[in-house]
Amino acid sequence: MWRESNSIKPKDQVSVITWLDYDAPQSAIPVADGPLIPEARDGSYAIKGGPILDEFLKGAKVAHSNESEGSGHTTVVGHSYGSTVVAEAAKNGARPDDVIVAGSPGMQAKHHTDLGIKDDHMWAMVAEGDIVPSVGRLSALQEGGIVPSDTQFGSANMATDTIGHSDYWKRREDGQASLSLQNQARVIVGEYEEVEINQK
């Protein structure tokens, strides 16, 4: 992520932080992962993790402000159940400049504005073969059967060229960034007009 973002705007100072500081669900597939009802269908993990992410984001903003002029530009990327955690952070007051979700099973809201996310700054991705959003519509993680990649949610649905649930950050065999990765990097550095959107 950092490599691609930095390649677009090498003169900007870009930082990427991988945040996993919450008790994440450990099962997603019934029986195969253990319990008949997987932990990933339970929104309580996100409800507990959201405030922790909110506090982290607030701390990061303060730290950035103390070290440089201005508050910078923050993009939060939530993959899979992580997108539900991002939603709970938003309910607790988190206000990043942009939110990207990939393979989201739901954000427990019908529209991004219900979470305080600004118009034109909510982005969603669903790769070919990623069944998680479809399964999410039947879980407790959605609201009204709506997930972020649905038109009703109001996200800009970014084009992808990767396959399945876990390759949104994968590079091509020739070493070049996938379109999925490129689009995320374009949002991160604020090159919104360069983001390829799926036209519905």
pLDDT, residue 72, reads 82
pLDDT, residue 75, reads 97
Helical H segments across 12-158, by residue range: 44-67, 81-91, 132-136
pLDDT, residue 27, reads 60
Tokens standing for 11? Answer: 């003169």
Average pLDDT over residues 122-145: 93
Q: Does 5 have pLDDT greater than 80? A: yes
Q: Does 39 have pLDDT greater than 70? A: no
Residue 46 to residue 68: CA distance in whole angstroms:
32
Residue 79 to residue 197: CA distance in whole angstroms:
19
Q: Does 70 have pLDDT greater than 80? A: no
pLDDT, residue 63, reads 84
Among all chains, which residue has been given the structure tokens 């993990």?
Answer: 45
Read off the pLDDT band of 36 (50, 70, 90). Answer: very low
Q: Which of 12-16, 99-103, 196-200 has the highest mean pLDDT?
A: 99-103
- Look up the pTM and report it: 0.92
Mean residue pLDDT across the chain: 90
